[in-house]
Structure 1
């Protein structure tokens, strides 16, 4: 794996006034690269665990910064360590595949591989890469759809003993909606139609849009507020209405986005994801403002603190996570027009799935 250098020429696309200079972006990319293991795994930070979703998010950020070899190594790690049923475990100690610390298999974590694989293909044009990763994506999607319920929602996880947790999470299902559309894009590119996936995607989108009763009530969490927009299930006026409805509850002007109500805690990851959702809606000015606000979470090494408790004027927890930095770089890349990043988040060129005969 090549060493990530601080090369501003690679990060010019990540320059955003008041958010990142080219040198600052290069420092952030180098910070993520420093967390990555030689085998390609990207834990939250060294000594902490890896989860497959955040591993992919960090890999996507590396691609957005032009570190394609490092990103590909991250996807090879997924291919090399996929479970026989198509899943990955929820957590691995320091990214060591031989040391899973949570043997449940979360559907949202498993599905997100498809987003990263399609993003890497769009960033590099590597058909050979897509050929190698297709069996991995196929198996992952098939695992996820085993937990889809008749109402379209997808169960949260499969426990280590094989028990399916069929309760569905709106945030996770919204993320899986994006992932299934990326998986369909891969299948379409390979000219290998997957009609069952199209039906599943349409059912899931309908559940998100029309049937809140099919999901656990996690409305205290900001992710449940903006993820139906970020995942592409809600668009247009419906997206606008949802964001405006929760704005005053979750957004703390000048600081960022609360993770959960009523806690006085803003977090970098949620703030960057909301910025991405705003960009998806065409509200780049508000997105950029939020990214400017959270620069108070930036550390000297270019990484970002997970969150800030504003009533106590305290950083908490005291951890610099690769995925928080990754979410910032992806938001900046989208606002900057990076083609691969805009393609996977705007959804304009992603297959929609088939609408169900419901309601």
Structure 2
């Protein structure tokens, strides 16, 4: 076995062992698979030859930190620093090996916000104060860009087009991710003793919209992400979270296969399955989360990476035929949470993250 980046062996991933999901050697193999895709400049595309998007790049970097590959994760964040636009954004997609020519010149709000989640996670994993100092201007600019897309009802417009036009329609999944990112950004500001009251108000308004005003978001309820992401992002919790998950469990969960991406398609995906497992862990349902992770081990490929999805009727085939870093990354993060990795649990449990200030009225 060759260990890209740091040369660490299986011992570095012993905390990622989970019965029926990963052995220490399997975890190390998966980490090595992500490292093998990472470019020398720190970029982590979906797979070699495919594009990079800032959200999935960050998720893969977080998985590397969860596996103790802090130097490789730091290189990924250095890539974000170098490629941030002057307005605080990143483009939606970059060519593998040629970041100067973006595939998609739009700038999506949740893609830009998620850097704050990864940066806070890296800081918690390493305690690197110099890193936090270096990335604070990056986080600040990114959050300011995102909040420039916030609508009067609290929801965040989903993107700014390449020509500068704002696409003001809001996506529930994206806004739930932005809500988590805002809270991580507030945690960074608190750590630096640089309070951001406007961000607190924005986070409060966004959380209220997610919990109480579904009409403010485009109807994408046939996607499983819209089902579980308000829980995963931390806006919906307690009894409301339990009721939400139970209501659509049978619609989206396919026993022994995983979680559907979109109804009515007979297609389960590793990323959605791992994210649901994370949401279940957030709710305190670790046994159920473990069952979901065990159910998708049919997606594991030789070499330790994971197929994006599987069609479980008709052709019964892996589709698309791609092994994505973000699928492997989502699995490692879910396992890390169940395994008690401190940085990962802190970022996803939300217990120590500021919640923002709720609106004075219920409008």
Task: Give the TM-score normalised by structure 2.
Answer: 0.98
Deviations 1:100-142 (A, max 9, x none): 0100000000000000000000000000000000000000000
Deviations 1:227-277 (A, max 9, x none): 000000000000000000010000000000000000000000000000000
Residues 199 and 353, structure 1, Cα contact 8 Å, conserved in 2:
yes
1:358 deviates by 2.3
Runs (4+) of structure 1 exceeding 3 A deviation are none
Q: Secondary structure at the match of 1:333?
A: helix
Note the residue ranges of structure 1 that are not aligned, 5 or more in a row. none
1:4 deviates by 4.4
| 1:196-211 superposed matches below 5 A | 196-211=198-213
Residues 333 and 344, structure 2, Cα contact 8 Å, conserved in 1:
yes
2:333 aligned with 1:330, yes or no? yes
Q: What's the Cα RMSD here?
A: 1.0
Residues 61 and 326, structure 1, Cα contact 8 Å, conserved in 2:
yes
1:357 deviates by 1.4
User: Which residue among 230, 233, 241 is the counterpart of 2:232?
Assistant: 230
Q: Which residue of 2 aligns with 1:316?
A: 319
Q: Secondary structure at the match of 1:98?
A: strand
Residues 4 and 36, structure 2, Cα contact 8 Å, conserved in 1:
no
Distance 1:80 1:284 in 2: 38
Q: Secondary structure at the match of 1:38?
A: coil
Residues 64 and 333, structure 1, Cα contact 8 Å, conserved in 2:
yes
| 1:1-359 superposed matches below 5 A | 3-5=5-7, 7-94=9-96, 96-311=98-313, 312-359=315-362
Q: Secondary structure at the match of 2:259?
A: strand
| Aligned length, in residue pairs | 359
Note the residue ranges of structure 2 that are not aligned, 5 or more in a row. none
Distance 2:134 2:359 in 1: 33
Residues 2 and 70, structure 1, Cα contact 8 Å, conserved in 2:
no
Residues 16 and 67, structure 2, Cα contact 8 Å, conserved in 1:
yes
Q: Secondary structure at the match of 1:176?
A: helix
Q: Secondary structure at the match of 1:301?
A: coil
Task: Give the TM-score normalised by structure 1.
Answer: 0.99
1:96 deviates by 2.7
Q: Secondary structure at the match of 1:148?
A: coil
